[in-house]
């Protein structure tokens, strides 16, 4: 898959939508300049040789505050977390910050031979370590995690085929290590099982237990909730007859 068609128009349009309508508190930003800065990160370069540092000027230019208590991290629950955020509007995942909003769901890369974007083929996620998209999400995740304060949420997948908490995931390898004990008052883990999937891991079990130990060692106060009901009710939209979705269980 190559660069998303009309990338420039989408990115500049999303930027204007964000600062004008979605989050005016982000302040004044020059969306055209942001696009040019972003494009200069990867245009005319080998798409497998874009580092996290390359994105720093873009990320710095786009920076804005994240209100205390609104940070929410996820792993293997991206869609659900974005849906929850869009509905409740009192959490701000990376995808609801300016940079994440501009680039979520898009694909982009350049090529050494020309300054045109590469519409033919961009590296797959795991094809090379320093690919244009992966380096962006890693770099953006560092900036996002450092800013977290107050009560922080983490949404994990209790039905994961692998493990709910993976130390090699971006949450496990980047975001967790950049959380600041002095800024964060507590961390709430929400372990969401797929409604029709199996309950493989829960609070205090398996990889979640490992995460809880790691949080304790780092000095964080934390709590853990299995199938946090407001999020589960979103899952229920697609399976209203499922027994977990029954609002008034028959005795």
Q: Give min distance, CB of 145 to ligand NFD, in A.
A: 8
- On the 0-12 / 13-18 / 19+ scale of CB atoms within 10 A, 247 is exposed
Among 18, 42, 73, 84, binds ligand NFD (CB under 6 A): 73
Q: Which x/- pattern over 75-104 shows residues binding ligand NFD (rule: CB under 6 A)? A: xx-x---------------xx----x---x
Residue 170 interacting with ligand NFD (CB under 6 A): yes
Q: Single out the residue of 207, 41, 215 nearest to residue 139, CA to CA.
A: 41
Part in contact with ligand NFD (CB under 6 A); list of ranges 1-9, 169-177, 216-224, 242-250: 169-177
Instruction: Name residues contacting ligand NFD, limited to 201-220 (CB under 6 A).
Output: none
Q: Single out the residue of 95, 131, 125, 77 nearest to residue 14, CA to CA.
A: 95
Question: Edge-to-edge, what's the strand order for the sheet holding 150-157?
Answer: 72-75, 150-157, 184-192, 222-226
User: Would you say 19 or 72 has its CB closer to ligand NFD?
Assistant: 72
Residue 136 interacting with ligand NFD (CB under 6 A): no
Instruction: Name residues contacting ligand NFD, limited to 38-67 (CB under 6 A).
Output: none
Residue 175 interacting with ligand NFD (CB under 6 A): yes
Part in contact with ligand NFD (CB under 6 A); list of ranges 4-12, 167-175, 192-200, 239-247: 167-175
Query: Is the Cα dihedral 123, 129, 130, 134 positive or negative?
Result: positive
Residue 108 interacting with ligand NFD (CB under 6 A): no
Contacts with ligand NFD: how many residues (CB under 6 A)? 19
Q: Which x/- pattern over 4-43 shows residues binding ligand NFD (rule: CB under 6 A)? A: ----------------------------------------
Among 6, 21, 25, 126, binds ligand NFD (CB under 6 A): 126
Q: Give min distance, CB of 201 to ligand NFD, in A.
A: 15
User: Would you say 169 or 235 has its CB closer to ligand NFD?
Assistant: 169
Q: Which residues bind ligand NFD (CB under 6 A)?
A: 73-76, 78, 94-95, 100, 104, 124-126, 137, 141, 144, 169-171, 175
């Amino acid at each position: 898959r190559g660069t998303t068609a009309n990338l420039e128009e989408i990115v500049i349009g999303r930027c204007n939508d964000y600062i004008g309508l979605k989050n005016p508190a982000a302040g004044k930003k020059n969306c055209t300049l942001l696009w040019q800065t972003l494009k200069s990160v990867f245009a005319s370069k080998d798409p497998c040789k874009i580092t996290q540092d390359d994105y720093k000027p873009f990320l710095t230019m786009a920076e804005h505050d994240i209100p205390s208590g609104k940070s929410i991290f996820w792993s293997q629950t991206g869609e659900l977390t974005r849906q929850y955020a869009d509905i409740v509007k009192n959490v701000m995942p990376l995808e609801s910050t300016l940079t994440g909003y501009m680039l979520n769901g898009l694909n982009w890369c350049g090529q050494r031979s020309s300054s045109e974007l590469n519409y033919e083929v961009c590296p797959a996620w795991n094809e090379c370590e320093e690919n244009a998209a992966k380096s962006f999400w890693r770099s953006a995740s560092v900036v996002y995690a450092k800013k977290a304060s107050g009560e922080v949420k983490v949404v994990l997948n209790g039905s994961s085929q692998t493990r709910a908490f993976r130390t090699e995931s971006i949450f496990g390898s980047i975001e967790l290590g950049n959380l600041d004990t002095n800024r964060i008052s507590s961390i709430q883990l929400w372990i969401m099982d797929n409604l029709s999937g199996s309950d493989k891991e829960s609070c205090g079990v398996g990889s979640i237990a490992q995460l809880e130990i790691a949080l304790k060692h780092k000095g964080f106060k934390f709590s853990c909730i299995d199938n946090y009901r407001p999020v589960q009710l979103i899952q229920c939209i697609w399976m209203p007859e499922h027994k977990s979705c029954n609002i008034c269980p028959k005795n």
